[in-house]
A = this chain, B = another copy of it.
Amino acid sequence: MFSFKVLGKEDRARAGEWVTPHGAIQTPSFVAVGTQGTVKSLSVEDLREIGNQVIITNAYHLHLQPGEDLIADTGGLHRFMGWQGPLITDSGGFQIFSLGAGKEHGVGKIAPIFPEEKDRGGHLRSRTGKSLVKVDEDGVEFVSYLNGSPHRFTPEGVIEIEKKLGADIILVLDECTSPLHDYHYTRAAMERTHRWALRALEAFHRRQNNTQAVLGIVQGGAYQDLRQESASFIADQAFDGFAIGGSLGSSKEEMHQVLDWTLSLLPPDQPRHLLGIGEVGDVFEVVKRGIDLFDCVAPTRMARTGTLLVKYAERFRINILNKQFKDDARPIEQWCRCYTCRHHSRAYLRHLFVAKEVLAIRLATIHNLYFLESLMAQIRAAIREKRFAALEREWLAPPLHLH
């Protein structure tokens, strides 16, 4: 019920199609983040209208609340969310370990955690001080960020949770290290992640499962030999695709290196997912290195603070709360055909944010995701027509016209 095909290439960038039991994903694709079973503020109809193809939710969050049994008993995650398209569940490795070392080290995906980083691991809000996470060979112990209750995740247990949830694509449990972990610890964690990967795969294949695909996760921090070792090891296992997880270093440059080291060692005929990256500035960089899927909370989280994506502005963004937009009757982006831009002015959107009206969040989120979806559609077409490099130049060296 799954098949992945590369339909076009330009240098290392690939355009393809990943068929799942809930429909095909045209790649490269952004994956909207719906941690708790909802892409914050959007209905499934909004997502369809935006052109969203696939959502990633989180086994860790859904296990804690409302629980995988409740979701299974009411018909599974697709039915629960009302989303009949492709779904991914992240294992929650990143979330669990950001409670531990990530919290102690004060770091996130590739850099120190920004204040707004906090809602990816909502738990960070309610905890301070020492690690609340204990890892051993068998698995990992942690306490619920909701009520302090103790939990244990094992590679097999997480597969079981994800089978109950029933997403199309599932990820194995991994141990995420932070950029501040030393070589020694990062190697030990990577090796443990490899052993967990084998156990997870065995649990996954224990009974016939044609309706789900399982992704292995490459770890190894920002260390070249570890990333290469991990990519080779994980590539050798019977996974349906691969994810690049964990710390991607302390800068964009290190992140690009990690991708270069890793992707050349993964089988070219299987899909690759980059976990937790996806600002507009990153999109061209990761796609040109051969990434097929990537998820990121940035577009939706930025929307909630009034930070809106536009093509010709510093870092592709404006903040609508800026006074200059007070009486600006234009849409957010002149050429954008999203619901928000077709119906509302910058002045109205700014008013909704200033007045703390909840509609502001939805209208901004619709715009940011639509913006990204239309960029991805342009990129897919460009790769198949061998003009990706030209498209990148057009986007990254825009005329000197700022909003």
Chain A positions near chain B (C-beta within 8 angstroms)? 36-38, 40-45, 65-66, 70, 73-75, 79-82, 326-327, 329, 339, 343-345, 347-348, 350-352, 354-355, 357-359, 361-363
Contact B80 A40 (CB under 8 A): no
Contact partners of A43 in chain B: CB under 8 A = 339, 343, 359, 362-363
Report whether A36 and B348 are in contact in the complex, using a CB–CB cutoff of 8 Å: no
Contact of A357 among B40, B347, B350 (CB under 8 A): B40
A358 touches B359 (CB 8 A): no
Kindly provide the distance from the CB of A340 to the nearest chain B CB, expressed in whole angstroms. 9
For A355, give its contact among B41, B65, B344, B354 (CB under 8 Å): B65
26 A/B residue pairs, CB under 8 Å, sorted by A: A36-B355, A37-B348, A37-B351, A37-B355, A38-B352, A38-B355, A38-B359, A40-B359, A41-B359, A42-B359, A43-B339, A43-B363, A66-B326, A66-B347, A66-B350, A70-B326, A73-B329, A74-B329, A74-B347, A75-B329, A80-B345, A80-B351, A81-B348, A358-B358, A358-B362, A362-B362
Task: Give how many copies assemble into the complex.
Answer: 2
- In the complex, are the beta carbons of B70 and A343 less than 8 A apart? no
Interfacial chain B residues near A79, Cβ < 8 Å: 345
> In the complex, what distance in Å separates the CA atom of A358 from the CA atom of B75?
23
Which residues of chain B are near A362, meaning CB under 8 Å? 41, 43, 358, 362
For A357, list chain B residues within 8 Å (CB). 36, 38, 40
